[in-house]
Amino acid sequence: MEANTGTERKKINIGLFVDCFFPYIDGVVNVVDNYAKNMDNIGKVYVFCPEPKTKNYNYNKPYEIVNCKALRIPVVKLNYPRPARDKAFLKRLDGICLDIIHIHTPFAMGKLGLKIAKERKIVSVATLHSQYKRDFKRFGKADFVVNRLLKTIMAVYNGADEVFALNEACKRTLYEYGYKGPCRVFQNGTDMTPIPDIDGRIQAINKEYGLAEVKNVFVFVGRLYKQKNNAFSLKALSILARRGFNDFKFIIVGEGEDGRRLKRLVKKLGLSDKVIFTGLVKDREKIGAFFARSDLFLFPSVYDSMSLVQIEAACYETPAVFLENANTASTVTHGINGYISPADAGAFADMIENAVSDKAALKTVGQNAKRDLYTTWAPLTSRVYDRYLELIQAKESNL
């Protein structure tokens, strides 16, 4: 369905419900923020989320944010929402007229969103952002416990009128988990656009990080935690180094709980002169320059459903290397707009070496990545808004 123009649309009130929000940052927070920013220009958006851990935090957002009380959980550094115990929050929610509720979690705020939708007889939709089975197994849960937990969260998704998946692989995962209803695919987008003076920014990072004479540059951008599988990339690069393939640098952009372990691994693998840890980089243009300077974006995660950074890499015509059967690779055609490797460090090393051995072919794959995989939030959220209107109209017709 083609997106309608803004003047043809009915203006609706949208409630986005999420269990974590700024100042915490992850993929779900970014998705909700971009949904809200883009659709608040068409309708009216409210984000319902836990209060920030930082007192007097300034969101500085164009849409309205309604906080509920939260319980601080130091281990994961999150504020877990407790909406049922916040009378002021519930009163504020009760006073807001919503036309549709979109939940981005199957837990506290998601359950509340569905409850409100059923009470008010309005449309509810949900997005599956995570591979929950992997999450549960990561914490050492036995199979029967994992299955019970999956059944619990799928009861939430099955309570929605429709569920959105991030790609076809994510959609298959949803049904494998036990979902029974209708599902539509709405991929993520990015707010990143190519900057005009990219050559100047590349020269700046070449100087800052000593990259001017380096033939092959690889990059990772994101949170440093185990599930991103950066250790796998390092092991593959150590194989290349032992083969004599030494003219390369691997730039790791970001910070996280796995940073220290990765630095120890770099030293152990003898890659100290090959790997650069930049730490957290907030300058979006500088991140764009890292992508533009790099030959490949190394992304062997099997945890992510669809990562925003792979779209950002495509913005700068930087193809990514994924692992077979990873949900993140489901939109990629190997050798056309990216690369897909068996989940073996040696094979991953081969894939990297083969990709950069033909720079002309690599350039074409990068151009195709931008053509096929890059999209901004505005057209995507426009289509989502139109789907909201369709669902609302269908529900009103059946009342």
**Span 123-147, average pLDDT:** 84
Residues 174 and 58 in one domain: yes
Query: Would you say residue 271 lies in a domain?
Result: yes
- 8 Å CB contact between 118 and 98: no
Please provide the DSSP assignment of 60-96 as one string. --SSEEEEE-EEEETTTTEEEE-GGG-HHHHHHHHTS
- Residue whose pair of structure tokens reads 């099997």 in the numeric block: 302
- The reported pLDDT for the residue numbered 249 is 98
- The reported pLDDT for the residue numbered 131 is 87
Instruction: Answer whether residue 103 shows pLDDT above 70.
Output: yes
- The reported pLDDT for the residue numbered 55 is 85
The CATH number covering residue 385 comes to 3.40.50.2000
Helix (H, G, I), strand (E, B) or coil at 342: coil
Residues 230 and 350 in one domain: yes
Residues 92 and 203 in one domain: no
Residues 129 and 274 in one domain: no
Query: Would you say residue 226 lies in a domain?
Result: yes
- The reported pLDDT for the residue numbered 5 is 43
Residues 38 and 87 in one domain: yes
Residues 283 and 383 in one domain: no
Query: Would you say residue 11 lies in a domain?
Result: yes
Residues 209 and 147 in one domain: no
Query: Would you say residue 1 lies in a domain?
Result: no
Over residues 331-371, the pLDDT tens digits come to 999 999 999 999 999 999 999 999 999 999 999 999 999 99
Under DSSP, the state recorded for 302 is: S
- The reported pLDDT for the residue numbered 78 is 73
- Higher per-residue pLDDT: 145 or 155: 155
Residues 287 and 146 in one domain: no
| Letter string b/e over residues 110-137, b meaning 16 or more CB atoms within 10 A of that residue's CB | bbbbbebbeeeebbbbbbbbbbbbeebe
Under DSSP, the state recorded for 312 is: H
- The reported pLDDT for the residue numbered 3 is 44
Q: What is the dihedral of CA 286, 287, 291, 294, to 10 degrees?
A: 70
The CA distance from 29 to 58, in Å, is: 16
Over residues 171-202, the pLDDT tens digits come to 999 999 999 999 999 999 999 999 989 999 99
Mean pLDDT of the chain: 94
Residues 52 and 139 in one domain: yes
Instruction: Answer whether residue 138 shows pLDDT above 80.
Output: no
Residues 180 and 213 in one domain: no
Query: Would you say residue 46 lies in a domain?
Result: yes
Over residues 212-262, the pLDDT tens digits come to 999 999 999 998 989 899 999 999 999 999 999 999 999 999 999 999 999
- The reported pLDDT for the residue numbered 21 is 95
Per the structure, the count of domains in the chain is 2
- The reported pLDDT for the residue numbered 77 is 65
- The reported pLDDT for the residue numbered 268 is 98
ω into 23 cis (within 30 of 0): yes
Instruction: Answer whether residue 8 shows pLDDT above 80.
Output: no
Residues 172 and 294 in one domain: no
- Higher per-residue pLDDT: 139 or 206: 206
Sheet containing 320-323, strands listed edge to edge, beginning at the edge strand earlier in sequence:
275-279, 248-253, 216-221, 296-298, 320-323, 339-341
At residue 2 the predicted structure's pLDDT band, cuts being 50, 70 and 90, is: very low
The CA distance from 305 to 328, in Å, is: 6
- The reported pLDDT for the residue numbered 90 is 97
Torsion sign over Cα 226, 77, 15, 176: positive
Cα dist. 394→125, 161, 190, 399 in Å? 13, 11, 30, 9
- 8 Å CB contact between 38 and 377: yes
- 8 Å CB contact between 128 and 170: yes
Any idea which of 63-67, 142-146, 291-295, 332-336 has the lowest mean pLDDT? 142-146
What single letter denotes the amino acid at residue 190? T
Residues 85 and 11 in one domain: yes
Residue span of the structural domain in which 223 resides: 198-373
At residue 132 the predicted structure's pLDDT band, cuts being 50, 70 and 90, is: confident
Over residues 54-70, the pLDDT tens digits come to 888 999 999 999 999 99
